[in-house]
Structure 1
Amino acid sequence: MSTADTDLLSAHARGDAWAVARAYLTAADMAAEGEDNDRAAFFLTHAWVFALEADDPLAEACHERLRRMGRV
């Protein structure tokens, strides 16, 4: 299991929406680097949802990236 996976599972277990959003954003960035746009959009959508839940300003950036990808 990768560090990103461990971070994501740990953040979920703690119920830390802020950390979950960032872990999903990291996963989205990794998928995008590998040019897997569907996977990147999947993780980015989750980052957006958890950022919204945490009232985190990151939500706006996630939404904008999804918009540029044609996903919202």
Structure 2
Amino acid sequence: MADIEAHITGTVWKIECKIGDTVGEGDTVVILESMKMEMPVEAEDAGTVKEILCEEGQAVNEGDTLVVLE
């Protein structure tokens, strides 16, 4: 399993995947908003989305796990 973590502190602006989706390396899974800028969070590995551990509008810290792949 691979965890996709927030690379910045911010707010979850949009979730671009759902449980069961297949994602490839480099695919955007979540978009974070920080200081009025949108920052895509990309999968570092290919896999299937097992869990989504965030919600749109939720504040997250750098290093928080957002999505779990299997």
- In terms of Rg, which structure is larger? 1
What TM-score bracket applies, with the shorter chain setting the length?
under 0.3
Ranked by relative contact order (alpha carbons within 8 Å, sequence separation 6 or more), the top structure is 2
Determine which structure has the larger strand proportion and give its number: 2
Give 1 or 2: higher helix fraction. Answer: 1
TM-score normalised by structure 1 residue count:
0.25
